[in-house]
Amino acid sequence: MTSSDRLDATFAALADPTRRAILARLAAGDASVNELAEPFEMTQPAISKHLKVLERAGLVSRSRRAQRRPRRLETRPFAEATEWLEKYRRLSEAAKEGKNS
C-alpha cells in the first residue's frame, strides 16, 4: 500500500462519526467488540464492519489475550495524516503571509 493509499484509507475511515467514536473509546484503552458496541444502538455485526474499515486503514489492530481479542488503537496512521495536514497548513500560512506583505 502506498503512502497515498494509506492516507486515503485513513481519511475515509475518519469520515464516519461512529468510527471516530470507536477511536475515541480506544484512546482510553483496548476494548472488545462487545465493549465497543455498548454505547451504540447497533448490532455487534455492524460494529464489526466499522472495525474492519478501521483495521484496513491501520488505525486499529487486534491482539489475542486468551479467548479475548481486544482492539487497540494504532498511532502510525495518525502521525502520517498529521504530517500531511501540517505540510499543507504551513504552505497555506506561507501563502497567506506572502499576500499580506
- Give the pLDDT score at 55: 96
pLDDT exceeds cutoff 80 at 100: no
pLDDT exceeds cutoff 70 at 16: yes
Strands 71-73 and 60-62: antiparallel
Mutual angle of helices 3-14 and 44-56, in 10-degree steps: 150
pLDDT exceeds cutoff 80 at 5: yes
Over range 74-85, report the average pLDDT.
94
- The 10s digit of each residue's pLDDT in 20-73 is 999 999 999 999 999 999 999 888 899 999 999 999 999 999 987 656 789 999
We report the CATH number of the domain holding residue 14 as 1.10.10.10
The count of domains in the chain is 1
User: Which residues span the domain enclosing 23?
Assistant: 3-100
Residue 10 phi, psi dihedral angles, 5° rounding: -65, -50
